[in-house]
Amino acid sequence: MSCARNLLLFLAIGLACARGAEPATNTEAGAWIPIAHVQAALGLTSSERLADGLVLSNAFHVLHLFSGRRSATIDGVCAWLHLPPRDAATNDLRDVARVDVDNLLQPVLLAIAAPPAQLRIVLDAGHGGDDTGARSAAPEVREKDVSLEIARHVASRLTAAGQQAFLTRTHDVYEPLGERTRFAAAHHAQLFVSIHANSAPSNHLAMGAETYILPAPGFPGTGEFAHAPTNACPGNRFDVHNALLGFAIHRRCAPLTGMDRGLKRARFFVLKESPCPAVLFECGFLTNTNDAALLGNAAYRRKLADAIAAGILDYTCLALPHPVPTSGNTASNRVEQ
């Protein structure tokens, strides 16, 4: 799609709102945008009602919105909305929350190809030293080891591709969370990717990959209750690029894992305080037998690292049309920050 056409689409959604997108709110939401306006603005020319919701598509993308659910799929990849589409309980998917149009659907569905940007990328291997992180049953696999090995390989792949990659830790030592974000600022990072492995001691069936970005100000995270803190964070300056980077990584990694748990949102410290677009990737659950076996395999760890690197490199080749109408976002529309 051309940049001019995408700009028209962005303007179309603004006009749709001005012409009467219902300004109703609930306890968490801002404005809502009618489905028909969303479809037109995103250039999704086909529409199909299904028993479980609505599918909007064009020659490039397929968006599946589900009745009564915050989870959606974009091109077959799970991505969580801040709010379910309004009236979803009756299968009348009438409106989509503007926060989800602005901070997820537009960045992902309207991004255009651009010449590769050369970026300064900080890779953060979670935990380390006395902080082991998650661990599996015997044979033991430790999160701090998995995250460091994967981060090192991602850095190698990015460097080979002409990017500048930096590691918050290069060996088995614990770096406080504040030091990690300060490291990113000191290195003038333009992307920050934190790598972890998950744990669910009370549910050994939990498995698969999750990718996290910040929630928008005023909204709880995907797994949080409505009363959780929802104040704006420094990282919210990059909401649009957080979504674009998170989706680019998740779409590469999720097919490798046992289950696609989706692009989600949480106020993890390194996401809140990041000086640039930031993502936290959970490689799988060390409390799950299948995931632990995969993460204990060197060839699989390398394959997952290759996928993370590929997602980052995908992001470096994307740009967003102007303007990008998001609340509180002051980042450049080009991937360079």
Angle at 217 between CA 211 and CA 222, to 5 degrees: 35
Does 73 map to a domain?
Answer: yes
The parent domain of residue 106 ranges over: 3-110
**Is the same domain home to 104 and 125?**
no
**Is the same domain home to 130 and 104?**
no
Q: How many CB atoms lie within 10 A of CB 261?
A: 23
**Is the same domain home to 188 and 95?**
no
**Is the same domain home to 179 and 293?**
yes
**Is the same domain home to 9 and 37?**
yes
**Could you tell me which residues come within 8 angstroms of residue 30 by beta carbon, excluding any fewer than 6 positions away?**
97, 98, 99, 218, 327
In the chain, the N- to C-terminal Cα span, in Å, equals: 23
pLDDT tens-digit readout, 264-278: 999 999 999 999 999
What is the mean pLDDT of the segment spanning 9-23?
34
What is the mean pLDDT of the segment spanning 137-160?
96
**Is the same domain home to 277 and 237?**
yes
* pLDDT value, residue 293: 96
Task: Look up residue 195 and give its amino acid.
Answer: I
Answer yes or no: is pLDDT of 191 > 90.
Answer: yes
**What's the predicted TM-score (pTM) here?**
0.87
Answer yes or no: is pLDDT of 26 > 60.
Answer: no
pLDDT tens-digit readout, 112-134: 999 999 999 999 999 999 999 99
The least confident of 16-30, 139-153, 293-307 is 16-30
Does 260 map to a domain?
Answer: yes
Query: How many percent of the chain have pLDDT more than 90?
Result: 75
CATH number, domain of 158, equals 3.40.630.40
Does 13 map to a domain?
Answer: yes
**Is the same domain home to 82 and 129?**
no
DSSP string, 270-331: HHHS-SS-EEEEEEEETTSHHHHHHHT-HHHHHHHHHHHHHHHHHHHTEE-PSP---TT--S
**Is the same domain home to 101 and 162?**
no
**Is the same domain home to 75 and 221?**
no
pLDDT tens-digit readout, 276-326: 999 999 999 999 999 999 999 999 999 999 999 999 999 999 998 765 444
**Banded model confidence at residue 14, pLDDT cuts 50, 70, 90:** very low
* pLDDT value, residue 228: 76
* pLDDT value, residue 91: 53
Does 132 map to a domain?
Answer: yes
Does 42 map to a domain?
Answer: yes
**Is the same domain home to 99 and 149?**
no
Parallel, antiparallel or unpaired: strands 164-167 and 120-125: parallel
pLDDT tens-digit readout, 67-112: 889 999 999 999 999 999 987 455 567 899 999 999 999 999 999 9
**Is the same domain home to 47 and 172?**
no
Helix (H, G, I), strand (E, B) or coil at 78: strand
* pLDDT value, residue 322: 64
What rounded mean pLDDT belongs to the chain?
87
For the chain, the domain total comes to 2
**Is the same domain home to 302 and 155?**
yes
What is the mean pLDDT of the segment spanning 161-186?
98
Cα-trace Rg, the chain: 19
Domain boundary residue among 58, 83, 110? 110
The least confident of 3-12, 27-36, 96-105, 124-133 is 3-12
Query: How many percent of the chain have pLDDT more than 70?
Result: 85
Does 308 map to a domain?
Answer: yes
